[in-house]
């Protein structure tokens, strides 16, 4: 009697290891056929963050979800004092090379969205269309009075205490501060599974927190000149600092589509997965 083999749950898959020419290792999972689509997670996640999207996108695209340089299960040395989205974009380009991909859709959340935009600015020919959820480009807070106030409050309440905790070796407290500040108080008390993943990605948070410039400036004229279709998304319930940055990034990118999502905070793809999947699939289809 033949016994059917059950599919392996997404988060239990064994990601493939890629050794890049710059000495960095990245892990990724891949499924589907057609135009490549790369999912890029935020500061506190890894490749598993895209589980709510996977089954919706795989029938339409060659989907790749990967863990950025310092995220689980990568084992890269913590050497760079100025780690940022610029380095992450270089890794992303090398990963595309390793996978034989000349051009792809990019879908990024939070720092993953920042990374996607950094690659689009540096190598626009490699990006077919781009979706970015609240890219935390902190220098754009300075473009408005409301943004300056929100950033000052965020730095005093979240960044400075978290950085102090990292320097003191209290990484768990630093992670809790960053989680609550970035995603809101509810996220700090998330499910045990999500909390465990956050702790697995402490190194990624720490490298950004202690970087000499974790939020490098992508020049407004470079963002405005991007030739590919861009969709910017933000949650209506997001913390103030993300809301103000998003306002100013949208102003710098007048050709980009932008939308605020009801019932979502900073993690739109996690908070409203059904809406996100439908909206992004529609946007990418129109970009063909």
Residues 181-235 pLDDT 10s: 887 655 544 567 767 888 888 888 888 888 889 999 999 999 999 999 999 999 9
Cis previous bond, 73, omega within 30:
yes
Q: What is the pLDDT of residues 114-160, one digit of tens each?
A: 999 999 999 999 999 999 999 999 999 999 999 999 999 999 999 89
Which residues share a beta bridge with 29? 65
Count of Cβ atoms closer than 10 Å to residue 6 Cβ:
6
How far is it between the farthest Cα atoms of the chain?
A: 70
Residue 117: partners with Cβ closer than 8 Å, 6 or more residues away: 85, 108, 130, 132, 135, 137, 218, 223, 226
Q: Does 103 have pLDDT greater than 60?
A: yes
Residue 172: partners with Cβ closer than 8 Å, 6 or more residues away: 199, 202
- Quick check: helix, strand or coil at residue 107? strand
Read off the pLDDT of each residue in 240-262 and give the average, rounded to a whole number: 97
How large a percentage of the chain has pLDDT more than 90? 76
CATH topology of domain 21-143+213-286: Rossmann fold (3.40.50)
- Quick check: helix, strand or coil at residue 209? helix
Count of Cβ atoms closer than 10 Å to residue 62 Cβ:
19
Q: What is d(CA 36, CA 106) in angstroms, rounded to the nearest whole number?
A: 9
pTM score, whole prediction = 0.93
């Amino acid at each position: 009697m033949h016994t059917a083999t059950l599919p392996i749950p997404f988060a239990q898959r064994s990601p493939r290891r890629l050794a890049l020419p710059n000495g960095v290792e990245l892990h990724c999972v891949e499924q589907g056929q057609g135009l490549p689509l790369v999912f890029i997670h935020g500061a506190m996640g890894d490749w598993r963050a895209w589980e709510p999207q996977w089954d919706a996108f795989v029938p339409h695209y060659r989907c790749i979800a990967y863990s950025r340089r310092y995220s689980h299960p990568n084992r890269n040395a913590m050497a760079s004092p100025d780690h940022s989205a610029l380095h992450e974009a270089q890794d992303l380009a090398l990963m595309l090379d390793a996978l034989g991909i000349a051009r792809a859709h990019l879908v990024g959340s939070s720092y993953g969205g920042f990374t996607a935009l950094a690659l689009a600015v540096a190598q626009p020919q490699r990006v077919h269309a781009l979706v970015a959820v609240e890219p935390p480009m902190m220098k754009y807070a300075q473009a408005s009075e409301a943004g300056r106030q929100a950033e000052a409050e965020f730095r005093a309440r979240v960044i400075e205490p978290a950085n102090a905790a990292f320097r003191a070796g209290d990484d768990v407290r630093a992670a809790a501060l960053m989680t609550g500040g970035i995603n809101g108080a509810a996220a700090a008390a998330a499910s045990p599974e999500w909390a465990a993943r956050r702790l697995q990605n402490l190194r990624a948070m720490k490298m950004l927190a202690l970087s000499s410039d974790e939020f490098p400036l992508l020049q407004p004229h470079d963002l405005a000149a991007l030739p590919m279709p861009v969709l910017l998304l933000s949650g209506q319930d997001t913390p103030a600092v993300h809301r103000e940055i998003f306002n100013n990034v949208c102003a710098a990118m007048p050709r980009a589509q932008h939308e605020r999502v009801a019932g979502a905070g900073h993690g739109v793809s996690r908070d409203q997965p059904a809406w996100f999947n439908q909206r992004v699939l529609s946007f990418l289809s129109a970009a063909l």
